[in-house]
Amino acid sequence: MVFVRSKIVKNESYSYLVESKWDSKGKTSRQQTVKYLGKTSDVTLEDIPSEYRNNPSIVSFVSSTQRFDMKKREKYLMKTQENMRKFLLGGDLKNAISIYTDFVKQSSVANFYDIILRPAMYQIGELWDAKKLDVGDEHIASNTAMRLIEKIGTKPRIKNKGKTILICTPDGEYHAIPCYMMETYLSLNGYNVINLAPSAPTNSITNHILDKKPDLILISITLKDHIKSCERLVNNLKKFKIPIVVGGQALQDENPFHGVMVMETPSLSELSKTIKGMI
């Protein structure tokens, strides 16, 4: 058993990584200092030897100390986003995977998508809108992101929940990366997922609903140009009496939908909680 012990010296907290072992002869627990960690407020997961980093008590301790130095954490996240953006634009899948692997050692797939990958893709989109990237740059970044998401999707999955979710975009909406993020995340969490993105015609979506009988429909919309198309799709799907969730960047300033759940740009953990409450 390992844990972090802290002690106060001259009004400053200092921490140590301690291992507790059972002495069968003495029938007692003996504690040994594994490593001096320094000031409690400065401790990060990187200060912990790698073999102990996934220990629940260690993860809990590091998470609790983050409140002492939010500036340092914010700087780390911004640098990680910057590196991810650079690797996506460079088509560097190997280093993009390394960022993911290192990040999820101390966090989750949902947080990686929400805090690292999605902001990096938003930044790339903003550069594209500002004409600071050409179409080739944008395609390289998108294709690298897709390959990264595919790699994440190969992780072991939890027990099947016996629920099916259909993901789609309205006709004309070709931004599929948000849908693939949702697909991998929900699949890893035990849902059967049918991903029809991008831009499947309404009759094709309808046919899949009749055939697969999903328990919930997720519709992703990125560009405001496709709101009318999305309204038509939603109106066509309401007849099935299946819960519908609509979300995406296009809905940040308006909500023209009625009778469906609208979530704008939810985090994946927020989306997961909403889904659990609906099916």
82-124 pLDDT tens trace: 999 999 999 999 999 999 998 888 788 998 999 899 999 999 9
Residues 184 and 221 in one domain: yes
Domain annotation covers residue 158: no
Residues 112 and 181 in one domain: no
Burial class (CB in 10 A: 0-12, 13-18, 19+), 32: exposed
Residue 235 DSSP one-character state: H
Among 47, 66, 85, the domain boundary falls at: 66
Long-range own/partner contacts, residues 35-44 (CB < 8 A, 24 or more apart): 37/4, 38/14, 39/12, 39/13, 39/14, 39/15, 40/6, 40/13, 40/14, 40/15, 40/65, 40/68, 41/13, 41/65, 41/68, 41/69, 42/69, 43/4, 43/15, 44/72
Residues 81 and 56 in one domain: no
Q: What local confidence, expressed as pLDDT, does residue 26 receive?
A: 57
Domain annotation covers residue 157: no
Q: What local confidence, expressed as pLDDT, does residue 23 receive?
A: 62
Q: What local confidence, expressed as pLDDT, does residue 118 receive?
A: 92
Among 152, 175, 196, the domain boundary falls at: 152
Residues 144 and 62 in one domain: no
Among 66, 87, 102, the domain boundary falls at: 66
The answer to whether 243 touches 229, Cβ cutoff 8 Å, is no
Question: For residues 191 and 205, what is the distance between their CA atoms, to the nearest angstrom?
Answer: 19
Domain annotation covers residue 159: no
The CATH code of the domain that includes 103 is 1.10.1240.10
Q: What local confidence, expressed as pLDDT, does residue 68 receive?
A: 46
Q: What local confidence, expressed as pLDDT, does residue 267 receive?
A: 85
**Number of domains the chain is built from:** 3
Domain annotation covers residue 91: yes
Residues 259 and 169 in one domain: yes
The CATH code of the domain that includes 199 is 3.40.50.280
At 221, list the tokens. 């919309």
Q: What local confidence, expressed as pLDDT, does residue 39 receive?
A: 83
pLDDT tens-digit map of 35-61: 999 887 778 888 888 888 877 677 767
Residues 184 and 102 in one domain: no
Range of the domain at 114: 70-152
CA max distance for the chain = 75
Which residues of the chain carry a pLDDT beneath 70? Answer: 10-11, 22-29, 56, 60, 63-72
Domain annotation covers residue 242: yes
Residues 170 and 226 in one domain: yes
Q: What local confidence, expressed as pLDDT, does residue 229 receive?
A: 95
